[in-house]
């Protein structure tokens, strides 16, 4: 039996992993304190995904892979900009 996850759950798991990764990286590796807004950057894109999900049903860009890649990109961008 294969468990089929909803698209929202897939994107939420990626978002959670990115937020946890940012928190662990900042605290344990870089030894810097990131403020709340910076550490939760990927969460804001997830909120946009949830809000616009209904309007974007007809779009080709409404795939969880695209949103997940955008969230991962924002997480990496957050890390890079905070280190510089």
Q: Tens digit of pLDDT for each residue in 11-44?
A: 999 999 999 999 899 888 888 887 887 788 889 9
pLDDT of residue 57: 66
The pair of structure tokens assigned to 36 is 């709340």
Helix (H) or strand (E) holding 57: none
Q: Does residue 54 fall inside a structural domain?
A: yes
Q: Structural domain tally of the chain?
A: 1
Q: Is 31 inside any structural domain?
A: yes
pTM value is 0.84
How many Cα atoms sit within 13 Å of 9 on the Cβ side?
Answer: 4
pLDDT band at residue 68 under the 50/70/90 scheme = very high
CB atoms within 10 A of CB 77: 12
Range of the domain at 28: 7-83
Per-residue model confidence (pLDDT) at position 40? 85
């Amino acid at each position: 039996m294969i468990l089929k996850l909803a698209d929202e759950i897939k994107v939420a798991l990626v978002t959670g992993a990115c937020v946890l990764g940012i928190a662990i990286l900042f605290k344990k590796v870089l030894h810097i304190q990131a403020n709340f807004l910076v550490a939760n950057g990927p969460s804001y894109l997830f909120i946009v995904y949830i809000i616009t999900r209904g309007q974007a049903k007809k779009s080709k860009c409404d795939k969880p892979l695209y949103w997940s890649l955008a969230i991962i990109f924002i997480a990496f961008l957050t890390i890079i900009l905070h280190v510089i």
